[in-house]
Structures are given as structure tokens and as C-alpha cells.
Structure 1
Amino acid sequence: MLVHAGLMLLALLLSVLGLCAVFDFHRGFHIPNLYSLNSWVGICTVLIGSLVWLPGSPLWFHSSTLKPVYIWMGKVMLILCLASCISGINEKLLLTLGNPYNSLPVEAKFENSLGILVAAFGLVVFGILSKNRWQRPEIDSERADLCMAY
């Protein structure tokens, strides 16, 4: 559980760092901020990722009451991450290549392949999430320990 929390915190910190880098880049080249669907999907992903933490609430509240919401928000974050990656790849291709995209230069083939790999990754993860036997089982003694800790 601590590994999961640590990885989530690291992902949140890196995504905030990435957003700061994007806003600095846009400011440096006088590009408007939040002008594309990719921008808004990315912002929503980071906001949902930060909501998952719900600071200050006790652990027993997370485990019993909010677990279904937490699982749903995790799936939503995965979908938004995949959408952000694919729309970002598409935006980069269209902005940098313009008309030569029609002739499929090497960059376009590479980035299209990358987009397909991102989509395949999402399908594999959702396949794993749909298997009940791969989910962590509920253990009553674990719940009692969590409740007694708070």
C-alpha cells in the first residue's frame, strides 16, 4: 500500500512539474495556454489525480466508504492519461509537419506507431483490471487493523 501511495505521489509531483514546464515553454514562445483539447484533458487528469489524495481524511474512511469512488477515479485517470497522450501526439504531428503529414514521413510513422502502442497499453491495463482473480482480495483482519489504527 505504501508503494502505491509513493508512486501516486511521485506521479502527481512529476505531472505538476510537467505542467509548469509547459506553461513556461508557452510563455517563452508567446503561445497561448490551454488552447487545445490536449491541454484541457491534461489539466483534468492532474486535477483528478490530486483529488484522489483527499488530505486529512482517515485511512478507514478511504478503505470502507470511498473505495468504489477511488477505483472509479483511477480508471478515469487512466482514460484521461491515454486520451492526453494520443491527442498530444496528434497535435504535435499536425503542428510540426503540416501538409507533409500526408506523405507520411518517418516522424509521422514513428508517432503513429507510438499512439498505437499507447492505445494497446491502455487495452492491456483495462484487461488486467477486468479480471477479478487479479484484484487484491478483501481481508477482514486487514480492515480491522486499519480501523483500529485510527
Structure 2
Amino acid sequence: TLEIVNMHVGVVDPRMSAEAISMCFLHCVLKGLHRSPKIITDRMLFSHPEVFTAADISCLVIPDGCVGLPTLAALEQGIAVIAVRENRNRMKNELNKLPFAPGKLFIVENYLEAVGIMTALKAGVTPSSVRRPLEETKVSQERIKLSSATPIEKV
């Protein structure tokens, strides 16, 4: 508002002076970007252990209904996406209509559930295997023929 623009803040701590003279807090943004990861285009550096790539990302946590470049990149690269319903926003996209591979989209109620899904994925546990009620187990009567070249261990 005009009132905030014309506000006289008086003497401020010198460490905060850049923020006091800027209405958009651009100094804070630039200071934060100074610490952000650098974009590397030299392919020779991609295999360096300190370089962070998409292969290092196991899942993406987003507000429910939010579709942006990170979500689309995760979809394309087979990265699991966890959508949190509790995080309300103005975007109203239906994530389940996107062509996610089975087991790559999880919609949860809150961040506590999101952490549970992340922990299960990290441990290699299929999240549906810990949900109740358990799905029916399908048993097949199919017989497998063994060739003479297949070794059989005796117990």
C-alpha cells in the first residue's frame, strides 16, 4: 500500500539496511540465490560425486493439484510424486489424470503421511503393502516346466 511505501523506518541495523530500503526485498532474494546450486553444463563434471542430478531425487513432494515444471519433469523421468491435500493452493489440476506410471503418484492428506510414504519408498517397501485392508492374494495354479539344464537344489 501507499502507506507502507511512505513509511519512515528510522535508523536500522546496518546488516538489515538493504532490506529496509527495498520494498520487494530483492537483496534477500539475491543473497539467497548466492547460496543456491550452480547449473553445470560441462558433461565431464556430471559424474562428479558432489554434482546433484535428477538421478539423486527419489521423490517430489508438492501441494495437491499443483502442476509445474518439477512435476512434469518427475513424471517424464519416473520420479515418484507425493501430493499433499492439506496444502491448499489456487491450482485445481487433477494429478491422477496425468499419465503417471503405477506406483509413482501418491496423494496423501498431510505432511506426516507424506513422510511415511517417503520412508516406505526409501526402505523399498511398497506403500500399498502397509495399508489396511490388505488386497486379496491371487494364487495361480500354473505349473512351471523345468528343463534338464535347470539345477534343482535339495533341502
User: TM-score higher than 0.5 here?
Assistant: no
Higher relative contact order (CA 8 A, sep 6+): 1
Q: Which has the higher strand share?
A: 2
Q: Which has the higher helix share?
A: 1
- What TM-score comes out, normalization by structure 2 length? 0.20
